[in-house]
A and B are shown apart, each in its own frame.
Chain A
Amino acid sequence: MIRVELKNASKIFSIDFRRDKGSLARLLKVLSGKTEKQERVAVKDISFTARSGEIIGLVGRNGAGKSTLLKLIAGIYETSNGTIKTDGELVYLTSLGLGLMPKLTMRENIFLSGSILGLEQKEVRQRFSQIVDFSGLHDFVDLKVYQFSSGMVTRLSFSTTFFCIKHKNPDILLIDEVFGTVGDFDFERKASEKMEELIKGGATVVLASHDLDTIKKYCNRVIWLNEGEIFGAGNPQEIISKYLSM
Protein backbone atom coordinates (compact mmCIF):
# COMPACT_ATOMS: atom_id res chain seq x y z
CA MET A 1 0.00 0.00 0.00
CA ILE A 2 1.40 3.37 -1.01
CA ARG A 3 1.52 5.71 1.98
CA VAL A 4 3.52 8.64 0.62
CA GLU A 5 3.63 9.74 -2.99
CA LEU A 6 5.52 12.74 -4.32
CA LYS A 7 5.28 13.87 -7.92
CA ASN A 8 7.67 16.62 -9.00
CA ALA A 9 7.31 18.36 -5.67
CA SER A 10 9.11 21.69 -5.44
CA LYS A 11 9.30 24.39 -2.82
CA ILE A 12 10.33 27.91 -3.64
CA PHE A 13 10.61 30.40 -0.82
CA SER A 14 10.17 33.99 -1.81
CA ILE A 15 12.26 36.34 0.22
CA ASP A 16 10.63 39.58 -0.85
CA PHE A 17 11.42 41.71 2.15
CA ARG A 18 12.89 41.25 5.54
CA ARG A 19 10.35 40.29 8.11
CA ASP A 20 11.54 42.73 10.70
CA LYS A 21 10.63 45.75 8.62
CA GLY A 22 7.64 47.71 9.83
CA SER A 23 4.40 48.24 7.95
CA LEU A 24 5.31 51.79 7.01
CA ALA A 25 8.63 50.71 5.48
CA ARG A 26 6.82 48.00 3.54
CA LEU A 27 4.13 50.37 2.36
CA LEU A 28 6.72 52.87 1.14
CA LYS A 29 8.53 50.10 -0.64
CA VAL A 30 5.36 48.94 -2.40
CA LEU A 31 4.41 52.52 -3.33
CA SER A 32 7.86 53.24 -4.69
CA GLY A 33 7.50 50.21 -6.92
CA LYS A 34 10.93 48.95 -5.94
CA THR A 35 10.07 45.61 -4.45
CA GLU A 36 13.10 43.42 -4.41
CA LYS A 37 12.04 39.88 -4.95
CA GLN A 38 14.38 37.06 -4.32
CA GLU A 39 13.59 33.41 -4.59
CA ARG A 40 15.27 30.43 -3.09
CA VAL A 41 14.56 26.97 -4.38
CA ALA A 42 14.69 24.75 -1.32
CA VAL A 43 13.37 21.57 -2.91
CA LYS A 44 13.22 20.88 -6.64
CA ASP A 45 11.31 18.25 -8.62
CA ILE A 46 11.28 15.50 -6.06
CA SER A 47 9.39 12.34 -6.93
CA PHE A 48 9.27 9.11 -4.98
CA THR A 49 6.81 6.79 -3.32
CA ALA A 50 6.96 5.04 0.01
CA ARG A 51 4.96 1.94 0.86
CA SER A 52 3.79 0.76 4.26
CA GLY A 53 6.61 -0.59 6.35
CA GLU A 54 9.30 1.00 4.21
CA ILE A 55 12.04 2.94 5.97
CA ILE A 56 13.61 5.64 3.84
CA GLY A 57 16.67 7.59 4.83
CA LEU A 58 17.37 11.15 3.74
CA VAL A 59 20.98 12.26 3.61
CA GLY A 60 22.58 15.47 2.48
CA ARG A 61 24.60 18.38 3.73
CA ASN A 62 23.14 21.24 5.75
CA GLY A 63 20.76 23.24 3.60
CA ALA A 64 20.25 20.38 1.14
CA GLY A 65 16.51 20.50 1.72
CA LYS A 66 15.95 17.51 4.03
CA SER A 67 13.89 19.36 6.61
CA THR A 68 11.94 21.29 3.98
CA LEU A 69 11.09 18.04 2.24
CA LEU A 70 9.86 16.48 5.47
CA LYS A 71 7.81 19.57 6.27
CA LEU A 72 6.26 19.41 2.81
CA ILE A 73 5.28 15.78 3.36
CA ALA A 74 3.95 16.65 6.82
CA GLY A 75 1.81 19.40 5.31
CA ILE A 76 3.45 22.15 7.36
CA TYR A 77 4.59 23.82 4.12
CA GLU A 78 2.61 23.94 0.91
CA THR A 79 4.27 22.80 -2.29
CA SER A 80 5.00 25.48 -4.89
CA ASN A 81 4.74 22.95 -7.72
CA GLY A 82 3.93 19.28 -7.95
CA THR A 83 1.82 17.15 -5.65
CA ILE A 84 2.26 15.25 -2.44
CA LYS A 85 -0.21 12.65 -1.29
CA THR A 86 -0.19 10.92 2.05
CA ASP A 87 -2.50 8.22 3.25
CA GLY A 88 -2.95 7.52 6.95
CA GLU A 89 -2.17 9.04 10.34
CA LEU A 90 1.01 11.07 10.09
CA VAL A 91 3.42 12.18 12.79
CA TYR A 92 6.26 14.60 12.19
CA LEU A 93 8.90 14.48 14.86
CA THR A 94 11.51 17.20 14.86
CA SER A 95 12.60 18.01 18.34
CA LEU A 96 12.02 16.47 21.70
CA GLY A 97 10.55 18.60 24.41
CA LEU A 98 8.76 21.03 22.17
CA GLY A 99 6.52 23.27 24.21
CA LEU A 100 7.95 22.26 27.55
CA MET A 101 7.06 24.99 30.05
CA PRO A 102 9.75 25.29 32.73
CA LYS A 103 7.40 27.04 35.16
CA LEU A 104 4.89 24.20 35.15
CA THR A 105 5.25 20.91 37.01
CA MET A 106 6.27 17.68 35.33
CA ARG A 107 2.70 16.39 35.60
CA GLU A 108 1.26 19.51 33.97
CA ASN A 109 3.90 19.36 31.26
CA ILE A 110 3.10 15.75 30.41
CA PHE A 111 -0.57 16.63 29.92
CA LEU A 112 0.25 19.75 27.93
CA SER A 113 2.77 18.01 25.66
CA GLY A 114 0.29 15.20 25.16
CA SER A 115 -2.34 17.67 23.99
CA ILE A 116 0.14 19.37 21.68
CA LEU A 117 1.05 16.00 20.19
CA GLY A 118 -2.62 15.45 19.46
CA LEU A 119 -3.79 13.24 22.32
CA GLU A 120 -6.90 13.81 24.37
CA GLN A 121 -6.57 14.27 28.11
CA LYS A 122 -8.00 10.84 28.86
CA GLU A 123 -5.51 9.25 26.47
CA VAL A 124 -2.63 10.99 28.23
CA ARG A 125 -4.04 9.76 31.53
CA GLN A 126 -3.87 6.17 30.21
CA ARG A 127 -0.21 6.60 29.30
CA PHE A 128 0.78 8.74 32.30
CA SER A 129 2.22 5.99 34.50
CA GLN A 130 4.20 4.51 31.60
CA ILE A 131 5.72 7.91 30.86
CA VAL A 132 6.71 8.46 34.48
CA ASP A 133 8.05 4.89 34.84
CA PHE A 134 10.15 5.10 31.72
CA SER A 135 11.62 8.46 32.63
CA GLY A 136 12.51 7.17 36.08
CA LEU A 137 11.42 10.47 37.60
CA HIS A 138 8.76 9.19 40.04
CA ASP A 139 9.89 11.43 42.83
CA PHE A 140 9.69 14.62 40.84
CA VAL A 141 6.22 14.45 39.30
CA ASP A 142 5.00 17.53 41.13
CA LEU A 143 8.21 19.49 40.89
CA LYS A 144 8.49 22.39 38.48
CA VAL A 145 10.57 21.63 35.43
CA TYR A 146 12.90 24.62 35.83
CA GLN A 147 14.28 22.84 38.88
CA PHE A 148 15.24 19.83 36.73
CA SER A 149 18.76 19.13 35.51
CA SER A 150 19.16 19.06 31.73
CA GLY A 151 19.42 15.27 31.81
CA MET A 152 16.11 15.05 33.66
CA VAL A 153 14.49 17.36 31.10
CA THR A 154 15.74 15.10 28.32
CA ARG A 155 14.36 12.03 30.07
CA LEU A 156 11.00 13.72 30.52
CA SER A 157 10.73 14.97 26.96
CA PHE A 158 11.84 11.70 25.41
CA SER A 159 9.42 9.63 27.48
CA THR A 160 6.49 11.96 26.84
CA THR A 161 7.13 12.19 23.12
CA PHE A 162 7.73 8.48 22.71
CA PHE A 163 4.65 7.23 24.53
CA CYS A 164 2.36 9.84 22.98
CA ILE A 165 3.51 8.93 19.48
CA LYS A 166 3.22 5.25 20.25
CA HIS A 167 -0.32 5.84 21.43
CA LYS A 168 -1.17 7.53 18.15
CA ASN A 169 0.22 4.52 16.30
CA PRO A 170 1.01 6.48 13.14
CA ASP A 171 0.97 5.01 9.63
CA ILE A 172 3.58 7.53 8.51
CA LEU A 173 6.40 8.68 10.71
CA LEU A 174 8.69 11.51 9.64
CA ILE A 175 11.79 11.88 11.81
CA ASP A 176 14.02 14.91 11.50
CA GLU A 177 17.32 14.53 13.37
CA VAL A 178 15.99 13.27 16.65
CA PHE A 179 18.88 10.96 17.41
CA GLY A 180 21.92 11.67 19.46
CA THR A 181 22.66 11.87 23.15
CA VAL A 182 19.61 11.57 25.27
CA GLY A 183 21.04 11.51 28.75
CA ASP A 184 23.27 9.04 30.57
CA PHE A 185 24.47 5.70 29.22
CA ASP A 186 21.69 3.71 30.78
CA PHE A 187 18.91 5.94 29.53
CA GLU A 188 20.50 6.27 26.13
CA ARG A 189 20.39 2.50 25.71
CA LYS A 190 16.76 2.35 26.82
CA ALA A 191 15.87 5.27 24.55
CA SER A 192 17.50 3.83 21.46
CA GLU A 193 15.66 0.54 22.05
CA LYS A 194 12.40 2.46 22.13
CA MET A 195 13.35 4.43 19.05
CA GLU A 196 14.03 1.17 17.25
CA GLU A 197 10.65 -0.13 18.38
CA LEU A 198 9.02 2.97 16.90
CA ILE A 199 10.89 2.81 13.60
CA LYS A 200 10.40 -0.91 13.12
CA GLY A 201 6.81 -0.78 14.28
CA GLY A 202 5.43 -1.15 10.76
CA ALA A 203 4.86 2.48 9.86
CA THR A 204 6.26 4.09 6.73
CA VAL A 205 9.27 5.98 8.03
CA VAL A 206 11.16 8.81 6.40
CA LEU A 207 14.24 9.54 8.43
CA ALA A 208 16.53 12.53 7.93
CA SER A 209 19.81 12.29 9.75
CA HIS A 210 23.49 13.12 9.65
CA ASP A 211 24.12 9.98 11.64
CA LEU A 212 24.93 7.66 8.76
CA ASP A 213 25.25 4.58 10.99
CA THR A 214 21.64 5.02 12.05
CA ILE A 215 20.59 5.38 8.45
CA LYS A 216 22.52 2.23 7.48
CA LYS A 217 21.10 0.32 10.40
CA TYR A 218 17.43 1.00 9.75
CA CYS A 219 16.79 2.09 6.19
CA ASN A 220 15.78 -0.04 3.21
CA ARG A 221 16.43 2.79 0.84
CA VAL A 222 18.33 6.07 0.94
CA ILE A 223 17.66 9.31 -0.90
CA TRP A 224 20.58 11.68 -1.22
CA LEU A 225 19.60 15.32 -1.53
CA ASN A 226 21.90 17.96 -2.87
CA GLU A 227 20.82 21.58 -3.26
CA GLY A 228 17.19 20.55 -3.16
CA GLU A 229 17.41 17.86 -5.81
CA ILE A 230 17.71 14.09 -5.67
CA PHE A 231 21.35 13.35 -6.34
CA GLY A 232 21.13 9.65 -5.86
CA ALA A 233 18.75 7.04 -4.51
CA GLY A 234 18.85 3.37 -3.79
CA ASN A 235 20.74 0.89 -1.66
CA PRO A 236 21.90 2.46 1.64
CA GLN A 237 25.48 1.09 1.55
CA GLU A 238 26.02 2.21 -2.00
CA ILE A 239 24.54 5.70 -1.67
CA ILE A 240 26.25 6.39 1.62
CA SER A 241 29.69 5.42 0.32
CA LYS A 242 29.14 7.68 -2.70
CA TYR A 243 27.93 10.46 -0.40
CA LEU A 244 31.03 10.12 1.79
CA SER A 245 33.36 10.19 -1.16
CA MET A 246 31.90 13.48 -2.42
Chain B
Amino acid sequence: MEQIKILLKNIQKTLSLSFSLAVAQFKLRNEGSYLGIFWYLLEPLSFFIILLFLGGVISNNSIDKYPLYLFLGLIMYNFFLAVTNSATSVMSSNSGFIKSIKIKPEAFVLANAFQFVFSHIFEIIIFAVFMVFYGVNLAFLLFYPVIFFFFFLFILGVSFTLATLGVYLIDLNNIWQVIGRFLFFATPIFYLIPKNTWFFSLSVFNPLYHYTSISRDIIIYDTLPVFRGMFLVSIISIIIFFAGLYIFEKNKSKFAEKL
Protein backbone atom coordinates (compact mmCIF):
# COMPACT_ATOMS: atom_id res chain seq x y z
CA MET B 1 0.00 0.00 0.00
CA GLU B 2 2.79 2.33 1.03
CA GLN B 3 4.64 1.52 -2.20
CA ILE B 4 1.60 2.35 -4.33
CA LYS B 5 1.32 5.67 -2.51
CA ILE B 6 4.97 6.48 -3.26
CA LEU B 7 4.53 5.42 -6.89
CA LEU B 8 1.47 7.65 -7.29
CA LYS B 9 3.28 10.56 -5.64
CA ASN B 10 6.20 10.07 -8.05
CA ILE B 11 3.91 9.96 -11.07
CA GLN B 12 2.18 13.11 -9.89
CA LYS B 13 5.53 14.88 -9.39
CA THR B 14 6.78 13.83 -12.83
CA LEU B 15 3.55 14.99 -14.47
CA SER B 16 3.69 18.30 -12.67
CA LEU B 17 7.30 18.88 -13.76
CA SER B 18 6.44 17.85 -17.33
CA PHE B 19 3.57 20.28 -17.39
CA SER B 20 5.74 23.18 -16.18
CA LEU B 21 8.39 22.35 -18.78
CA ALA B 22 5.76 22.06 -21.51
CA VAL B 23 4.25 25.45 -20.65
CA ALA B 24 7.71 27.04 -20.71
CA GLN B 25 8.56 25.45 -24.05
CA PHE B 26 5.21 26.47 -25.51
CA LYS B 27 5.76 30.07 -24.39
CA LEU B 28 9.29 30.06 -25.78
CA ARG B 29 8.14 28.78 -29.16
CA ASN B 30 5.80 31.73 -29.50
CA GLU B 31 8.15 34.27 -28.00
CA GLY B 32 8.88 37.15 -30.32
CA SER B 33 6.80 35.74 -33.16
CA TYR B 34 4.27 38.16 -34.64
CA LEU B 35 1.55 35.67 -35.39
CA GLY B 36 2.25 33.52 -32.34
CA ILE B 37 0.02 30.48 -32.15
CA PHE B 38 -1.50 31.22 -35.57
CA TRP B 39 1.62 29.79 -37.12
CA TYR B 40 0.53 26.38 -35.92
CA LEU B 41 -2.74 26.75 -37.76
CA LEU B 42 -1.29 28.27 -40.86
CA GLU B 43 0.88 25.28 -41.64
CA PRO B 44 -1.83 22.57 -41.51
CA LEU B 45 -4.36 24.89 -43.09
CA SER B 46 -2.18 25.64 -46.09
CA PHE B 47 -1.34 21.98 -46.52
CA PHE B 48 -5.02 21.16 -46.17
CA ILE B 49 -5.93 23.59 -48.93
CA ILE B 50 -3.30 22.12 -51.26
CA LEU B 51 -4.46 18.57 -50.67
CA LEU B 52 -8.10 19.56 -50.90
CA PHE B 53 -7.40 21.15 -54.24
CA LEU B 54 -5.50 18.09 -55.47
CA GLY B 55 -8.12 15.69 -54.15
CA GLY B 56 -11.03 17.62 -55.60
CA VAL B 57 -9.58 18.56 -58.94
CA ILE B 58 -7.33 15.71 -59.94
CA SER B 59 -8.65 12.50 -58.52
CA ASN B 60 -12.28 13.64 -58.42
CA ASN B 61 -12.83 11.45 -55.40
CA SER B 62 -16.13 10.27 -54.05
CA ILE B 63 -15.37 10.46 -50.32
CA ASP B 64 -18.30 11.84 -48.39
CA LYS B 65 -17.53 15.17 -46.62
CA TYR B 66 -14.02 15.01 -48.01
CA PRO B 67 -12.71 18.28 -46.49
CA LEU B 68 -13.55 17.04 -42.97
CA TYR B 69 -12.16 13.60 -43.76
CA LEU B 70 -8.93 15.18 -44.95
CA PHE B 71 -8.53 17.76 -42.20
CA LEU B 72 -9.08 15.33 -39.34
CA GLY B 73 -6.64 12.83 -40.81
CA LEU B 74 -4.12 15.56 -41.42
CA ILE B 75 -4.15 17.10 -37.94
CA MET B 76 -3.95 13.70 -36.25
CA TYR B 77 -1.03 12.68 -38.44
CA ASN B 78 0.69 16.04 -37.91
CA PHE B 79 0.36 15.68 -34.17
CA PHE B 80 1.91 12.22 -34.31
CA LEU B 81 4.78 13.37 -36.51
CA ALA B 82 5.52 16.56 -34.57
CA VAL B 83 5.72 14.78 -31.21
CA THR B 84 7.73 11.78 -32.41
CA ASN B 85 10.06 13.87 -34.54
CA SER B 86 11.07 16.04 -31.67
CA ALA B 87 11.23 13.01 -29.34
CA THR B 88 14.20 11.71 -31.37
CA SER B 89 16.38 14.54 -30.07
CA VAL B 90 14.67 15.36 -26.78
CA MET B 91 17.33 13.71 -24.62
CA SER B 92 20.28 15.40 -26.30
CA SER B 93 18.61 18.79 -26.20
CA ASN B 94 18.12 18.39 -22.45
CA SER B 95 21.49 16.80 -21.79
CA GLY B 96 22.49 19.77 -19.63
CA PHE B 97 19.86 18.77 -17.08
CA ILE B 98 20.32 15.04 -17.37
CA LYS B 99 24.05 15.26 -16.77
CA SER B 100 24.02 17.68 -13.90
CA ILE B 101 20.92 17.22 -11.82
CA LYS B 102 18.98 14.38 -10.33
CA ILE B 103 15.85 14.62 -12.44
CA LYS B 104 13.37 12.18 -13.90
CA PRO B 105 14.21 12.05 -17.62
CA GLU B 106 10.68 10.81 -18.39
CA ALA B 107 9.56 14.38 -17.72
CA PHE B 108 11.32 15.62 -20.86
CA VAL B 109 9.58 13.09 -23.10
CA LEU B 110 6.21 13.91 -21.53
CA ALA B 111 6.82 17.67 -21.70
CA ASN B 112 7.72 17.34 -25.36
CA ALA B 113 4.40 15.62 -26.05
CA PHE B 114 2.35 18.00 -23.89
CA GLN B 115 3.59 21.11 -25.65
CA PHE B 116 2.12 19.82 -28.92
CA VAL B 117 -1.19 19.05 -27.24
CA PHE B 118 -1.67 22.79 -26.77
CA SER B 119 -1.39 23.44 -30.50
CA HIS B 120 -3.50 20.38 -31.28
CA ILE B 121 -6.32 21.90 -29.24
CA PHE B 122 -6.31 24.91 -31.57
CA GLU B 123 -6.49 22.62 -34.58
CA ILE B 124 -9.45 20.80 -33.07
CA ILE B 125 -11.20 24.13 -32.57
CA ILE B 126 -10.71 24.92 -36.27
CA PHE B 127 -12.01 21.46 -37.07
CA ALA B 128 -15.13 22.15 -34.99
CA VAL B 129 -15.69 25.32 -37.00
CA PHE B 130 -15.45 23.27 -40.21
CA MET B 131 -17.93 20.78 -38.80
CA VAL B 132 -20.43 23.53 -38.19
CA PHE B 133 -19.80 24.85 -41.67
CA TYR B 134 -20.50 21.45 -43.25
CA GLY B 135 -23.52 20.87 -41.04
CA VAL B 136 -22.17 17.88 -39.13
CA ASN B 137 -23.48 17.14 -35.66
CA LEU B 138 -20.95 18.51 -33.16
CA ALA B 139 -22.05 16.12 -30.41
CA PHE B 140 -19.93 13.29 -31.75
CA LEU B 141 -16.81 15.41 -31.29
CA LEU B 142 -17.23 14.66 -27.59
CA PHE B 143 -15.87 11.18 -28.28
CA TYR B 144 -12.61 12.62 -29.50
CA PRO B 145 -10.98 13.04 -26.04
CA VAL B 146 -11.46 9.30 -25.44
CA ILE B 147 -9.87 8.34 -28.77
CA PHE B 148 -7.22 10.99 -28.26
CA PHE B 149 -6.33 9.57 -24.86
CA PHE B 150 -5.43 6.22 -26.43
CA PHE B 151 -3.79 7.89 -29.43
CA PHE B 152 -1.68 9.91 -27.00
CA LEU B 153 -0.64 6.78 -25.08
CA PHE B 154 0.44 5.21 -28.36
CA ILE B 155 2.44 8.32 -29.29
CA LEU B 156 4.08 8.38 -25.86
CA GLY B 157 5.13 4.75 -26.29
CA VAL B 158 6.71 5.56 -29.65
CA SER B 159 8.30 8.71 -28.17
CA PHE B 160 9.89 6.83 -25.26
CA THR B 161 11.40 4.34 -27.70
CA LEU B 162 12.67 7.06 -30.03
CA ALA B 163 14.06 9.13 -27.16
CA THR B 164 16.05 6.10 -25.99
CA LEU B 165 17.34 5.30 -29.48
CA GLY B 166 18.17 8.98 -30.03
CA VAL B 167 20.74 8.83 -27.23
CA TYR B 168 22.73 6.22 -29.14
CA LEU B 169 22.02 7.20 -32.77
CA ILE B 170 22.81 10.80 -33.48
CA ASP B 171 21.09 10.84 -36.88
CA LEU B 172 17.90 9.15 -35.80
CA ASN B 173 16.10 12.39 -36.53
CA ASN B 174 16.91 12.14 -40.25
CA ILE B 175 15.92 8.48 -40.38
CA TRP B 176 12.65 9.23 -38.64
CA GLN B 177 11.83 11.99 -41.10
CA VAL B 178 12.08 9.50 -43.95
CA ILE B 179 9.89 7.02 -42.06
CA GLY B 180 7.47 9.84 -41.33
CA ARG B 181 7.14 10.66 -45.01
CA PHE B 182 6.57 7.00 -45.78
CA LEU B 183 3.88 6.78 -43.09
CA PHE B 184 2.16 9.85 -44.49
CA PHE B 185 1.56 8.06 -47.78
CA ALA B 186 0.94 4.68 -46.19
CA THR B 187 -1.84 6.05 -43.99
CA PRO B 188 -5.14 6.99 -45.64
CA ILE B 189 -4.98 10.70 -44.90
CA PHE B 190 -6.00 12.18 -48.22
CA TYR B 191 -7.34 9.03 -49.87
CA LEU B 192 -9.58 6.11 -49.05
CA ILE B 193 -8.28 2.56 -49.13
CA PRO B 194 -10.54 0.36 -51.27
CA LYS B 195 -11.66 -2.60 -49.22
CA ASN B 196 -10.68 -6.15 -50.16
CA THR B 197 -7.33 -5.13 -51.60
CA TRP B 198 -3.87 -6.21 -50.47
CA PHE B 199 -3.16 -2.66 -49.33
CA PHE B 200 -6.22 -2.75 -47.10
CA SER B 201 -5.08 -5.98 -45.45
CA LEU B 202 -1.65 -4.48 -44.94
CA SER B 203 -3.06 -1.32 -43.33
CA VAL B 204 -4.45 -3.39 -40.50
CA PHE B 205 -0.88 -3.40 -39.19
CA ASN B 206 -0.58 0.37 -39.33
CA PRO B 207 -1.77 1.74 -35.96
CA LEU B 208 -2.24 5.21 -37.44
CA TYR B 209 -4.82 3.77 -39.80
CA HIS B 210 -6.94 2.59 -36.87
CA TYR B 211 -6.81 5.86 -34.96
CA THR B 212 -7.73 7.98 -37.98
CA SER B 213 -10.45 5.69 -39.27
CA ILE B 214 -12.13 5.27 -35.88
CA SER B 215 -12.07 9.04 -35.32
CA ARG B 216 -13.58 9.69 -38.73
CA ASP B 217 -16.28 7.05 -38.39
CA ILE B 218 -17.39 8.43 -35.08
CA ILE B 219 -16.94 12.17 -35.47
CA ILE B 220 -17.69 12.77 -39.13
CA TYR B 221 -19.96 9.89 -40.04
CA ASP B 222 -21.84 9.82 -36.73
CA THR B 223 -21.46 6.11 -36.07
CA LEU B 224 -21.45 5.14 -32.44
CA PRO B 225 -18.17 3.62 -31.30
CA VAL B 226 -17.93 -0.05 -32.18
CA PHE B 227 -16.82 -1.98 -29.16
CA ARG B 228 -14.47 -4.28 -31.06
CA GLY B 229 -12.66 -1.43 -32.79
CA MET B 230 -12.26 0.63 -29.64
CA PHE B 231 -11.08 -2.39 -27.74
CA LEU B 232 -8.44 -3.16 -30.35
CA VAL B 233 -7.22 0.42 -30.39
CA SER B 234 -6.99 0.65 -26.62
CA ILE B 235 -5.07 -2.63 -26.44
CA ILE B 236 -2.56 -1.47 -29.11
CA SER B 237 -2.10 1.81 -27.27
CA ILE B 238 -1.54 0.25 -23.87
CA ILE B 239 0.92 -2.33 -25.23
CA ILE B 240 2.93 0.24 -27.20
CA PHE B 241 2.95 2.65 -24.26
CA PHE B 242 4.27 0.12 -21.76
CA ALA B 243 6.74 -1.37 -24.25
CA GLY B 244 8.18 2.11 -24.92
CA LEU B 245 8.27 2.96 -21.24
CA TYR B 246 10.00 -0.35 -20.49
CA ILE B 247 12.73 0.31 -23.06
CA PHE B 248 13.22 3.80 -21.65
CA GLU B 249 13.34 2.66 -18.02
CA LYS B 250 15.83 -0.10 -18.87
CA ASN B 251 18.23 2.36 -20.46
CA LYS B 252 17.76 5.64 -18.64
CA SER B 253 20.54 5.08 -16.10
CA LYS B 254 23.07 5.19 -18.95
CA PHE B 255 21.81 8.41 -20.52
CA ALA B 256 23.93 10.77 -18.39
CA GLU B 257 27.19 9.23 -19.55
CA LYS B 258 26.18 8.56 -23.17
CA LEU B 259 24.98 12.09 -23.87
Summed over the interface, the residue pairs from A and B with CB atoms below 8 Å come to a total of 74
Give the shortest distance, in Å, between B196 (CB) and chain A (any CB): 39
Q: How large is the interface on A (under 10, 10 to 19, 20 to 34, 35 or more residues)?
A: 20 to 34
Q: Binding site of A, secondary structure by majority: helix, strand, loop or mixed?
A: loop
A112: contacting residue among B20, B103, B172, B254, CB under 8 A: B20
Could you give, for residues 171-192 of chain B, a 1 whenever the CB lies within 8 Å of some chain A CB and a 0 otherwise? 1100100000000000000000
Determine the chain B residues whose CB is within 8 A of the CB of A104 once the complex forms.
Answer: 24, 27-28
Determine the chain B residues whose CB is within 8 A of the CB of A75 once the complex forms.
Answer: 102
Determine the chain B residues whose CB is within 8 A of the CB of A120 once the complex forms.
Answer: 13, 16
Q: Is the CB of B16 within 8 A of A76?
A: no
Q: Is the CB of B20 within 8 A of A115?
A: yes
B31 at the interface (CB under 8 A from A): yes
B96 at the interface (CB under 8 A from A): yes
Could you give, for residues 193-227 of chain A, a 1 whenever the CB lies within 8 Å of some chain B CB and a 0 otherwise? 00000000000000000000000000000000000
Question: For residue B32, which residue of chain A has the nearest CB?
Answer: A103
Give the shortest distance, in Å, between B101 (CB) and chain A (any CB): 6
Q: Is the CB of B253 within 8 A of A78?
A: yes
CA distance A42 to B32 in the complex (A): 44
User: Hey, which bits of chain B sit against chain A, CB under 8 A?
Assistant: 13, 16-17, 20-21, 24, 27-28, 31-32, 96-103, 169-172, 175, 253-254, 256-258
Which 10 pairs of residues, A with B, have the shortest CB-CB distance? A115-B20, A94-B100, A103-B31, A76-B256, A78-B253, A22-B171, A23-B169, A115-B17, A112-B24, A74-B102
19 contacts between A and B (CB under 8 A): A21-B170, A22-B170, A22-B171, A23-B171, A76-B100, A76-B101, A78-B253, A78-B254, A101-B28, A103-B28, A103-B32, A104-B24, A104-B28, A111-B20, A112-B21, A116-B97, A116-B101, A118-B13, A120-B13
